[in-house]
Chains A and B, each alone.
Chain A
Amino acid sequence: MWEFLARSLEASTIFTFAGLGELIGQRSGILNVGIEGVMLFGATLGFMAAQSTESYAIGFLVAIAIGGLLGLLHGFFSITLGGDQVVSGMGIWILGFGLTTYIGMPFTGPLGLPRIPTILGVSPLFYIGVVLVVITWFVLSKTSLGLRIRSVGENPSVAEVSGVSIAKTRYLCVTVSGMLMGLAGAIYSLDYNPVWNYNFLMGWGFIALALVFFSMWNPIILLGGSLLFGTLWQLSLNPQLVLPGLLSRYIWRTVPFIITLGVLLLMSTKWFRTKWGAAKPEALGEPYEKG
């Protein structure tokens, strides 16, 4: 049972990093629906780098770098070119899905490095994730940088008048956002399940996207959501731990997705919104053009 909980915490770490990345980008007004693609890139290139250099550090750094680059690319399409952010995000997702399937294929199989040592039975990345959540929360709600980011996401024309550079702030956020997503992918392929397979993510990125909507753009709630979904995901992989023989294992795999739909539905109700007040960034998804 303890083993199951530890694995759940590690699964939630992936949601935490990916979701945190998306949250930071969205707070600045940039929607990136391509999380899964960035994660696939980080996971695949990180895996390849770590395997060929036999160094975890290099693997993680490569993943962060490619994530940052893809974040910049999304920024270029959506900030500089002012394009449709959904189209760009879809492009990054399909690029990631297509290209990593091809370049990762010769690396199919286990990583073959000694596992990353754990702290109290849980991967150290879990603790780093929790610390990052707190830092992000602090930066977003208590610092002037956070105020700048939020103002750019809420009302860019007002922010610009008060002297904030929309483009700079958004570029900063999408780059950091991409780095965290790339890292999230590498956490999957280097730590959580160090085996490369065709399209191994199977929806982690899209659940992370949904988690950001649940979190009402609050990093602390995001952490809670990640813990819940990490446990749920782990349970769907090992249903026999809790309810042996109840349903087919294939049906269990649909459970996290069905619950995601249920939570999205609950959140959309009037009751929920008036009770909690959704804090969706006002300018989310809209390109900013100087007036």
Chain B
Amino acid sequence: MTIGSYSVRLEKRTLLRSWEAALISILAIVLALVLFSLIFILAGINPLVAYQEIFSYAFANRFGLPLVINRFIFLLLCTSAFIIPYRAGLWNIGMTGQLYMGSLGAFGVLMALGGKESISAELNPFVLIPLMLVAAAIGGAVIGAIAGVLKGRFNINEIVVTMILNFIAYWLVAYMIKEGGAFMNPGGRGESFELPPSVYAPLLGDIPFTIFLALGLALLLYFVFAKTRLGYEIKAHGHSPAAARYSGISPLGISFLTFALGGAIAGLAGYHYFAAVPGVYKIARNYGYFGDLAFYGIICGLISQGNPLAAIPITLLFGGLSVGGRFVQGKLHMSFGVDYALLGVLMISLVAFQFFYRYRIIWTKIAKESPDVGVSG
């Protein structure tokens, strides 16, 4: 193809440098925000004003910022949960169900140890909080492992399975917290019983300790992928399951392990939102909204190209965008779901930009045509 005096062609990349990957990701996000301006324009709002509101609420407002940090912790955990199987070439879109099961696990332990009996129950946080974390991880790991085994042992499509498990977990939570379920709030408001203040997660300022968990896990994962045998085996399976099998790596083992680990981390995201974020401290009536938010983990995982460290700034940005989107929706009187629409637009822009991870555009100036002297070769 020629444009002006340049010829433009596509070339398959042989390697993708990290600055190139970062640039492509940034362009994808910028394009999405430009496209998203249309939504503001259609709603009769100046997009520049809207974006200014979003960013200033998200990152420079004393009410907005803690919300953003809490969401960042949640998204980083969900993204890590997506990344582990993704590096093995497997799709975990079941973070939603895994975090539901994680929160059921955490509240199950709490109830078993007397947390439901009275809101003023004096429980030992040094015992109970670790137990709740472990139970949340186990809850997520168990439902995650189901998908891992079905994929690894029976080769059943993991996208279908994780999505189906999401719906199963969604209804299980409804069963537990509504209409006489075991975790039902005594006031019967369609939500779970509340956490006794004695086992509220420790805070640093407004931020729960789970931030260290999320950041620590991202660092640990980076190390595992870069330096360890397990990380190598996961990546080998991701490049070619068949080749990995010949070199003695068990597909069942990798599939089981990556989904169980991913599920465990997503389970912690469930603990974080329902037992550690100030002002929540129960499985909320609108728990489905937090489940939907987990889908941002897919986008963040794809944009960061499976790199757990790159996921840190990306999840912070997306946490800000989703909280800020919610805020402008109220402030500028837009209809509900601005943050959902943003999720969709970001995703499709990212899909379009996937192309540039594999190809690059080569511009070359066309030389003046040389006379054809009839000699070929």
Using CB atoms and an 8 Å cutoff, list the residues of chain A in contact with chain B.
33, 77, 81-84, 86-88, 90-92, 94-99, 101-103, 105-106, 198-199, 202-203, 206-207, 209-210, 213, 248-251, 253-254, 257-258, 260-261, 264-265, 268-269
Indicate if the CB atoms of A91 and B350 lie closer than 8 Å. yes
B159 within 8 A of A: yes
Indicate if the CB atoms of B164 and A206 lie closer than 8 Å. yes
Q: Give chain B's interface secondary structure class.
A: helix
Indicate if the CB atoms of B156 and A86 lie closer than 8 Å. no
B264 within 8 A of A: no
B335's contact among A95, A102, A258, by CB below 8 Å, is which?
Answer: A102
Indicate if the CB atoms of B164 and A210 lie closer than 8 Å. yes
Indicate if the CB atoms of A213 and B160 lie closer than 8 Å. yes
Give the chain A neighbours of B30 by CB distance below 8 A.
none
Indicate if the CB atoms of A257 and B340 lie closer than 8 Å. no
Give the chain B neighbours of A265 by CB distance below 8 A.
150, 154, 156
In this complex, what residue of A is CB-closest to B351? A91
Among B164, B292, B354, the most chain A Cβ lie within 10 Å of the Cβ of B164
Indicate if the CB atoms of A90 and B298 lie closer than 8 Å. yes
In this complex, what residue of B is CB-closest to A37? B344
Indicate if the CB atoms of A251 and B344 lie closer than 8 Å. no
With A86-B159, A203-B163, A264-B160 already in contact, the answer to whether A98 and B351 are too (CB < 8 A) is no
Give the chain A neighbours of B150 by CB distance below 8 A.
261, 264-265
B344's contact among A99, A249, A254, A261, by CB below 8 Å, is which?
Answer: A99
With A83-B354, A250-B174, A253-B171 already in contact, the answer to whether A261 and B164 are too (CB < 8 A) is yes
**0/1 per residue, B146-170, Cβ < 8 Å to A?**
0000100011110111011101100
Q: How far is the CB of B254 from chain A (nearest CB, A)?
A: 18
Q: How far is the CB of B183 from chain A (nearest CB, A)?
A: 12
Q: How far is the CB of B8 from chain A (nearest CB, A)?
A: 16
14 A-B pairs, CB-CB below 8 angstroms?
A77-B354, A83-B355, A87-B302, A91-B347, A91-B348, A94-B347, A95-B345, A101-B341, A102-B341, A103-B341, A202-B167, A251-B171, A265-B156, A268-B156
Q: How far is the CB of A198 from chain B (nearest CB, A)?
A: 8
A105's contact among B154, B175, B299, B336, by CB below 8 Å, is which?
Answer: B336
Closest 5 CB pairs of A and B: A98-B344, A91-B351, A102-B341, A102-B337, A250-B175
Give the chain B neighbours of A82 by CB distance below 8 A.
358
B93 within 8 A of A: yes
Indicate if the CB atoms of A206 and B344 lie closer than 8 Å. no
Q: How far is the CB of A237 from chain B (nearest CB, A)?
A: 12
Q: How far is the CB of B338 from chain A (nearest CB, A)?
A: 6
B342 within 8 A of A: yes
Interface size class of B (residues with CB under 8 A): 35 or more
Indicate if the CB atoms of A33 and B337 lie closer than 8 Å. no
**0/1 per residue, B322-343, Cβ < 8 Å to A?**
0000000000000111101111
A261's contact among B161, B172, B335, B351, by CB below 8 Å, is which?
Answer: B161
Indicate if the CB atoms of B336 and A268 lie closer than 8 Å. no
Give the chain A neighbours of B345 by CB distance below 8 A.
95, 98-99
Give the chain B neighbours of A264 by CB distance below 8 A.
150, 154, 156-157, 160-161
CA distance A14 to B157 in the complex (A): 22
Indicate if the CB atoms of B351 and A210 lie closer than 8 Å. no
Give the chain B neighbours of A96 by CB distance below 8 A.
344
CA distance A9 to B191 in the complex (A): 35
Give the chain B neighbours of A254 by CB distance below 8 A.
167-168, 171-172
In this complex, what residue of B is CB-closest to A81? B355
Give the chain B neighbours of A86 by CB distance below 8 A.
91, 159
In this complex, what residue of B is CB-closest to A74? B351
Indicate if the CB atoms of A102 and B39 lie closer than 8 Å. yes
B337's contact among A105, A209, A253, by CB below 8 Å, is which?
Answer: A105
B295 within 8 A of A: yes
CA distance A202 to B344 in the complex (A): 17
With A33-B159, A268-B154 already in contact, the answer to whether A257 and B164 are too (CB < 8 A) is yes
Indicate if the CB atoms of B159 and A88 lie closer than 8 Å. no
B179 within 8 A of A: yes
Among A87, A99, A102, A249, the most chain B Cβ lie within 10 Å of the Cβ of A102
In this complex, what residue of A is CB-closest to B325? A102
Give the chain A neighbours of B347 by CB distance below 8 A.
90-91, 94-95, 98
Q: How far is the CB of B93 from chain A (nearest CB, A)?
A: 7
B352 within 8 A of A: yes
Indicate if the CB atoms of A88 and B351 lie closer than 8 Å. yes
B340's contact among A92, A102, A210, A258, by CB below 8 Å, is which?
Answer: A102
Within 8 A of A (CB), among B237-288: 288
CA distance A261 to B295 in the complex (A): 22
In this complex, what residue of B is CB-closest to A251? B175
CA distance A97 to B344 in the complex (A): 7
Give the chain A neighbours of B172 by CB distance below 8 A.
250-251, 254
Give the chain B neighbours of A33 by CB distance below 8 A.
159
Q: How far is the CB of A78 from chain B (nearest CB, A)?
A: 10
CA distance A84 to B352 in the complex (A): 11
Indicate if the CB atoms of B171 and A102 lie closer than 8 Å. no
CA distance A253 to B302 in the complex (A): 32
Indicate if the CB atoms of B295 and A94 lie closer than 8 Å. yes
Q: How far is the CB of B162 from chain A (nearest CB, A)?
A: 10
CA distance A162 to B93 in the complex (A): 40
Give the chain B neighbours of A81 by CB distance below 8 A.
354-355
